[in-house]
Chain A
């Protein structure tokens, strides 16, 4: 008999038009890190939501320590020692770290909050697991990595022994990911059992003991990670061989499509320049990548170029048209497409159906409206072609409300929409964040194809692998300035790292 702390047997969960989980089994051993791998929309988040009591399955049972348990809500889950860090954190922004951690399980003495005891306890836990935090900082002021540590402390403070991480690394910088991996190993060594969802095979290889694979809602199998290669894992998950290398033909860049001169953006809060005198060009048929550690001004640079914030000095031209102060719509008409960093904030109207989201940037074109009236037939048939072409999976096709789609499929909606606008300049910020390897392969091939057609592509990515494999030119941004222009064929991982951390610089062009 194996010592399973949690066993899920034959779990089935249906949504309108789709079986998200079809008789899925999962066995979690005490003290192991168990990865959950599967394509976008395979049903990973759904399965974890069932374990956390957010959904009630139509069939199947959950056992804890061999005994059947009923989990009808997150409170039951907490009582059973199950904690979850959601892909999008659930923290109160104007509360401090400490307040967030004890929220809901406050210790009360004579009707008053007793913070001192809680504080000591939290600090003890944080020391024990190396989760260094500032308990008095406000959530709104700290980095995503810190917010995640707060979420983890929340689980530990509640003495949870089963910890669920839903795509914890998708929002982290490479450094923060290393930290998180260390913390997870520490937790497992202390006897905590961890369920870990990720699309990055490197991470699975680095920390996981075993891995359960799902595909299209079905249980495919469970493997020990150590003897299994990354290629085998991805083949199990996608059902075919995936090439992890990008095939990029040589191409001479053409005319300049984006010409940025002396761009400055001031940060209103600090008064410093978040983008400091940035000058560069992107030419036709070229992929230029802005690499840098998160928070070095790349977000503001993109917001200023795409018209979401005002720039304070400098100029920008797209294919010769001055767009320095143009409206977002004018920039679009001048040939700019934009895959935004934050898909929920900017990229999608979550309460709109899939079809509306697919025409969000084009509904005003004569193809989709006539005299101000929308041409729904056109919109739906156009959406269907995009759904087929980009393999966007959802329960109810064009009518699916975007909010109910899996994270990766939401991302595919945005990518499909922006690429199909046939832009002169495509600005893509972390386009493959949260996508499975199969989808990443596809998106990369699409970017290369766009490049082949002569589109200029400005890519912002925190993933060095991506930066090195798809770009033609790398611009390193550090504290708002471009500190180096590098050739991906001539530069090493380590060298880029030195530029990104500011220890080295070379004049950029």
Chain B
């Protein structure tokens, strides 16, 4: 009986993997069409570069890991919230809140020796993201405020507040961004940069990707194996039934936003503690990593393990797109193409879901 059970599980799992792959094919086809229209002569070569760029050399492979890390975390954040019935569109705000607190600790708390500084920065980001996520959660639980609206507000509050605070606390006025963090605040490289290099040119790969994967597995375990996850998912599917079963829906909503926020916040830390020398730019735009979490989660069908692969795929496209500059495509066009592929992939899946649910709902009581 147990083996039959596994078999059923694997059938439904492979069906979802298959649907994700099909969506990707649709996305790629759409991207190729746009390339053809914008520059027919170069289209084939450019498309080839997008597809192969991420694997073309070892440095690029390292860059894929580096680029995947933050969107893995925000994808995890969005996907986890969706599983519990919440749409966390506030990953951008949580991300930037986490990023700022990590940088602040990384710059100011240099009295902490060795890797302790890095650890402190990570914890600060985790807490900051959690707090940023908790606000929409509390508003929803106690005042029934739609989390989408409060999340969007928290995004803007977060972005402007962080800009304001950077200028007061950790500002590098020459670069118009935050000051570099101390070396020991960065995530350990664990030799990954040397493993993934081209000649003397090392990549930005670091242990952040490993931490992100560990987090994905942890979220998977929470959702699928624990009593807590059982309650969160029950609330997501049917909050009246959860209440009837004695689950506190207020607590569930808040905790679920707290965890989602913490994941996004940690993503912010992992981007700016990657040791690539990147600082937080003082710009009036929301961080794009937050929004990219949405297609990552969609493509992964909100499955935390799927998020790992979806994030790697999207990072791979981005790195491949970067190589497209060799074909004289302006960066904006590249961005458009990449976005088209990503969003078409995600969209194809959404459409499929909608069609299936309409088809199923009419019939099922």
Main secondary structure of the interface of B (DSSP, over half): helix
Of B147-155, B223-231, B343-351, the one contacting chain A is B223-231
Complex CA–CA separation, A88 to B361 (angstroms): 12
Q: Does the CB pair A49–B234 fall under 8 Å?
A: no
Closest to B225 in A: A373
> Does B364 count as interface, using CB distance less than 8 angstroms?
yes
Complex CA–CA separation, A349 to B237 (angstroms): 7
CB distance from B221 to the nearest CB of A (A): 8
Residues of B within 8 A of A374 (CB): 225-227, 230
> Does A321 count as interface, using CB distance less than 8 angstroms?
no
> Does A340 count as interface, using CB distance less than 8 angstroms?
yes
Of A98-106, A284-292, A325-333, the one contacting chain B is A325-333
Chain A-chain B contacts (Cβ-Cβ < 8 Å), number = 79
Residues of A within 8 A of B244 (CB): 306, 308, 328, 338, 340, 346-347
Q: Does the CB pair A361–B5 fall under 8 Å?
A: no
Residues of B within 8 A of A327 (CB): 246, 248
CB distance from B303 to the nearest CB of A (A): 15
> Does A360 count as interface, using CB distance less than 8 angstroms?
yes
- Given that A308-B244, A332-B246, A348-B241 are contacting pairs, would A54 and B362 also be in contact in the complex, using a CB cutoff of 8 Å? yes
- Given that A54-B362, A332-B246, A374-B226 are contacting pairs, would A360 and B241 also be in contact in the complex, using a CB cutoff of 8 Å? yes
Q: Does the CB pair A347–B241 fall under 8 Å?
A: yes
Q: Does the CB pair B227–A351 fall under 8 Å?
A: no
> Does B175 count as interface, using CB distance less than 8 angstroms?
no
CB distance from A393 to the nearest CB of B (A): 15
Q: Does the CB pair A372–B226 fall under 8 Å?
A: yes
Residues of B within 8 A of A328 (CB): 243-246
CB distance from B231 to the nearest CB of A (A): 8
> Does A356 count as interface, using CB distance less than 8 angstroms?
yes
Q: Does the CB pair B5–A88 fall under 8 Å?
A: no
Instruction: Please report which residues of chain A, range 358-408, place their CB below 8 angstroms from some CB of chain B when the two chains form the complex.
Output: 360-361, 363-364, 369, 372-374, 377, 380, 396, 398-399, 403-404, 406-407
Complex CA–CA separation, A369 to B229 (angstroms): 12
CB distance from A238 to the nearest CB of B (A): 22
> Does B335 count as interface, using CB distance less than 8 angstroms?
no
Q: Does the CB pair A369–B227 fall under 8 Å?
A: yes
> Does B363 count as interface, using CB distance less than 8 angstroms?
yes
CB distance from A288 to the nearest CB of B (A): 22
Residues of B within 8 A of A406 (CB): 365
Complex CA–CA separation, A4 to B156 (angstroms): 67
Name the contact of A349 in the complex, choosing from B2, B242, B363 (C-beta under 8 A). B242
> Does A55 count as interface, using CB distance less than 8 angstroms?
yes
Complex CA–CA separation, A331 to B245 (angstroms): 11
> Does A345 count as interface, using CB distance less than 8 angstroms?
yes
Q: Does the CB pair A352–B234 fall under 8 Å?
A: yes
Most chain B beta-carbon neighbours within 10 Å: one of A87, A306, A373, A406: A373
B201-226 vs A, CB cutoff 8 Å, 1 = contact: the mask equals 00000000000000000000000011
Closest to A379 in B: B230
> Does A86 count as interface, using CB distance less than 8 angstroms?
yes
Other 20 A-B pairs with CB < 8 A, given A332-B246, A340-B244: A74-B362, A87-B365, A327-B246, A328-B243, A346-B240, A346-B244, A348-B238, A348-B241, A349-B237, A349-B238, A349-B241, A349-B242, A360-B234, A360-B245, A369-B227, A372-B226, A372-B228, A374-B225, A374-B226, A380-B5
16 contacts between A and B (CB under 8 A): A74-B362, A308-B244, A328-B245, A328-B246, A338-B244, A345-B238, A349-B238, A349-B242, A350-B238, A360-B241, A363-B230, A364-B227, A374-B227, A374-B230, A380-B5, A403-B365
Please report A residues at the B interface, Cβ cutoff 8 Å. Answer: 45, 49, 54-55, 74, 86-88, 306, 308, 327-329, 331-332, 338, 340, 345-352, 356, 360-361, 363-364, 369, 372-374, 377, 380, 396, 398-399, 403-404, 406-407
Q: What are the 10 tightest A-B residue pairs by CB atom distance, in nearest-first order?
A: A329-B246, A346-B244, A328-B246, A54-B363, A351-B237, A360-B245, A369-B227, A349-B238, A349-B237, A349-B241
